A and B are shown apart, each in its own frame.
Chain A
Amino acid sequence: MPDEPSAIPLADVLRAANELVSADLIEDYALGGALAAIYYVEPFTTYDADIIFVATDKTLSAGIPAIYSHLQSKGWRVEREHLLIKDFPVQFLAASGLTEEAVRNAKPIEYEGVSAKVCRPEYIIAIAASVGRHKDLARIEQLLKQAKIDKAVLDDILRRYKLKLPKS
Chain B
Amino acid sequence: MKPEMRQKLAQLPFEEKIRKVGELIRLSRAVKAQRVREDASNYPQSGRSLPAAESNPKSS
| Interface residues of A, Cβ cutoff 8 Å to B | 4, 6-8, 10, 35, 38-47, 109, 111-112, 145-147
Contact pick for A47, options B19, B20, B25, CB 8 Å: B25
Within 8 A of A (CB), among B16-43: 17-26, 28
In the complex, which residues of chain B have a beta carbon less than 8 angstroms from the beta carbon of A10?
A: 18
Contact with A42, one of B10, B22, B26 (Cβ below 8 angstroms)? B10
Show the binding face of B for A, using Cβ within 8 Å: 3, 6-7, 9-10, 12, 14-15, 17-26, 28
Instruction: Decide: B24 and A6 in contact? CB cutoff 8 A.
Output: no
Do B26 and A43 have beta carbons less than 8 Å apart? no
Contact A146 B7 (CB under 8 A): yes
Cβ contacts under 8 Å, B10 to chain A: 40-42, 146-147
Q: Are B21 and A46 in contact (CB under 8 A)?
A: yes
Interface majority SS (helix, strand, loop, mixed), chain A: loop
> In the complex, are the beta carbons of B19 and A146 less than 8 A apart?
no
A sample of 8 cross-chain residue pairs with beta-carbon separation below 8 angstroms, ordered by A number, consists of A6-B18, A6-B22, A8-B21, A38-B17, A43-B12, A43-B18, A45-B21, A111-B14
Number of CB contacts from chain A to chain B under 8 A: 54
Residues of B within 8 A of A109 (CB): 14
7 further A-B pairs in the complex, CB-CB below 8 A; given A40-B10, A43-B17, A145-B3: A8-B18, A8-B21, A43-B24, A45-B21, A47-B25, A111-B14, A146-B10
Residues of B within 8 A of A45 (CB): 21, 24-25, 28
CA gap between A119 and B48 in the complex, in Å:
51
Point out the residue from A7, A41, A111 that lies within 8 Å of B23, measured CB to CB: A7
- Whether B14 contacts A39 by the Cβ 8 Å rule is yes
Contact B6 A8 (CB under 8 A): no
